[in-house]
Structure 1
């Protein structure tokens, strides 16, 4: 039997935390002499309901097991979306419920797809909250809460497992709360570093903070209509490339690198594949850009590297319109939507470790066919990968493909052309942002119907929680009593 009182207690703590995180956005509104009431009221509602829920169940000390963990993660994203919409709705800057839903889900899932047609006229406080939604969703609010839940007398191990269902098995510290704290220290530190460098590169302090938040979250929301193309600065764009690369790297590897354990970084098959792929793909895109443009080789490479890193890490920043360089470049950029960053990073997508495992296992299958009696083991990062993990990855890839096909079919049946249907579902499921068709790098999602926006919002949530976390709730055995 599910422990619903424990779930209610944790939901209360999460809503209280969302209310607290709205306060900086209200302060920004006050600093710029805007109407801060919509954000303040939203924060007050979240704080009030959160406190009522938490203290109503505070005396219950029920165990949070794996089943409760999955349900809490899904409910937390639903509640975060519902309360995160309030500033958009109360400010009346976004008048449609489905538009507010889409923008909030896109923020929290760090997708970066937007329905806003003129970002620069939006209130600065509201834009800051928009950036905060991505920063909150970047490493996962669940990881933040497992760091502070021990102070509330709540265990968080099952929550961390549900929020991070990928195949990686690296552990930074045996205690989950300490793991979450260390990851957040790195996350906060890199966010501050990125913001300061953006500021030093010529951004205003406000813009630098916003872009620092969304870069480390691999979210891609910008305060400018032209995104990163607005800043004609090699320093700013190379800074963005560097921090997008870090944000798409497994944070445990960043931690090991910081403490001098470089062998763990070098030994990582995923990191090597991730780094090599970014360089190789950048060179592939560089060639047509350089040959078709009257620009220097450095500028052409910067354009190529920026877009490749942005798409692969699912950040979604735009520095150029890649659709102008021919169908070949468009096709490559479309395929990048299916890569994703590293497991244990803030990036979305399928993740490189799954691709590496799939390719290595497929290669070994040829050897098994030739030598059927040989014991052939799959080795990743110097360790043997169990059959259960391989099956999990194969099932994930199949379900991901099926979800993509079904989502694309639904969007096309709603009246959109094939390129737009495929591109919109691929980019939403992969939590990327720009795609192909009518949702290219210089377009947005405002033209979609309310029904299509709801479907795409579901795709974003499925992608952010890596399918299984949500889909498992629709299985009958999940709800059966133990």
Structure 2
């Protein structure tokens, strides 16, 4: 293993994190909050440590999948640890495991919280908490690839480890250019949402914080009611942009290069939007008697469907009080997730669609054994290695889910709480049902089980295998 390249990336991650902490420092300065000194201190430490790790010239910049995956997983752990220090050192989140949980939930765009009163946090802490969503949404390593030239095409291993979906391709021949395009699209849509919210009369602080949570499909609110106290227009803006950030960014690139027909032919996007439409209509019909009129029911249904399928986790109402049919639909959406190549979590629409096509092919082969049917997705034949990776992913997903569920059941909470807690963290959603519903929090779990849920959040964000690779003994053997 090329350990040097791993430490080199860790150095860059620490340096970038130190720079990113300037934002909460500025917020603390504006609102005259002493908590800003903790961000300043951690930022300086990150900057110095990052320089020490990354300033030496590497003997070799060549690295392969193993180094790429290990660099990504360790980078996210280091990023989360130092990102949690201001919360812990300031005493605003007094327990280290709680501070880690909150920040890992932020960077992985999960949105699960251990806090019962988020409004007790200082403004700079609230901004950092929401900003972690934006940082983690596209991935800090993708950002580094945009500014850091490395040898040949080896950095595609970083993209594959950090980008969500069954396969990662390049929009253009160079990975560095691809990373730049992704971040420019990401930044542009975020700025558009901030501007629209400002036009509705929302303060700049709220507009930025809530847009960061929407863009990263994270879901940290800055008030205890999440999105419940905002106006109907603002809630519709959140709904639309949550759905937009759940679309594969390749679609936006096709629009950017003026190929709208190719973008609209995207099979995954059409499936994604179809699931949202059907789910919204079904839930609206089911909850119509709980609200004054059908339009209010539609607004809440569309918001929660968009929030759950994109794994954002915002809420406008306590959907844990909805009928069982509606709650079941939302739980199903937790697993489906958003599109590959988006900022959303979950299994991904593309994996579900390919799995369904595989089942259909098997049924057809049983009925007509002599027929040879080629599986196609997005108009292209599905390669065997893609099918193999999807099957392997689903097996690993079920194993992690099952083991995690067994372990957290030791806290003796009801099955709905335990099941949806794992679903909410492994799929990077945020709220679950029962004791971890939209009006509750994850502070009820023991310290051990909080760490299990933290692992699930990281594993879910990094598509399982980068985190699992850390526990494989052969990863650390010299070859």
| Alignment TM class, shorter chain as reference | over 0.9
Match of 2:62 in 1: 63
1: CA distance, partners of 2:195 / 2:356: 40
In the alignment, is the contact (CA less than 8 A) between 2:110 and 2:312 conserved in 1?
Answer: yes
- Asked whether the 8 Å contact 2:5–2:58 carries over to 1, the reply is no
Distance in 2, Cα, partners of 1:169 & 1:109: 19
Unaligned runs of 5+ in 2: none
CA RMSD of aligned residues (A): 1.7
Which is further off, 156-165 or 217-226?
A: 156-165
How far residue 121 of structure 1 moved from its aligned partner, in angstroms, is: 2.2
**Could you tell me which residue of structure 2 aligns to residue 184 of structure 1?**
183
Q: Which residue of 1 aligns with 2:346?
A: 349
- Which string of whole-angstrom CA distances, capped at 9 and with x for unpartnered residues, describes residues 36-82 of structure 1? 21111111111111111112x33534312221101100110111011
The structure 2 residue matched to 1:329, chosen from 315, 323, 326, is: 326
Residue 247 of structure 1 is aligned with which of 245, 248, 254?
Answer: 245
1:408 equivalent in alignment to 2:384: no
Within 1, Cα distance between the matches of 2:269 and 2:172? 20
CA distance in structure 2 between the aligned counterparts of 1:458 and 1:218, rounded to whole angstroms? 19
Q: Which residue of 2 aligns with 1:447?
A: 444
How far apart, CA to CA, are the structure 1 residues paired with 2:70 and 2:188? 31
Contact 2:11 2:51 in 1 (8 A): yes
Map residues 68-467 of structure 1 onto 2, 5 A cutoff: 68-150=67-149, 156-164=155-163, 166-231=165-230, 233-290=231-288, 292-467=289-464
> Post-superposition shift, 1:439?
0.6
1: CA distance, partners of 2:223 / 2:202? 11
Report the CA distance between 1:320 and its aligned residue.
1.1
Moved more, 134-143 or 317-326: 317-326
Q: CA deviation at 1:350?
A: 0.4
Higher mean C-alpha displacement, 392-401 vs 302-311: 392-401
Moved more, 169-178 or 66-75: 169-178
Q: Which runs of 5+ in 1 are unaligned?
A: none
3-state SS in 1 of match to 2:443 = coil
1:34: how far off? 0.6
Task: Provide the C-alpha distance between the structure 1 equivalents of 2:129 and 2:320, rounded to a whole number of angstroms.
Answer: 27
| Distance in 2 separating the partners of 1:378 and 1:34 | 58
1:149, 1:155 within 8 Å by CA — same for their partners in 2? no
Please tell me whether the aligned partners of residues 273 and 352 of structure 1 are also in contact (alpha carbons under 8 angstroms): yes
C-alpha separation in 2, matches of 1:294 and 1:206:
31
Residues 402-450 of structure 1, C-alpha deviations (whole Å, 9 max, x = no match): 2112111111122222111101011000000111120111111122221
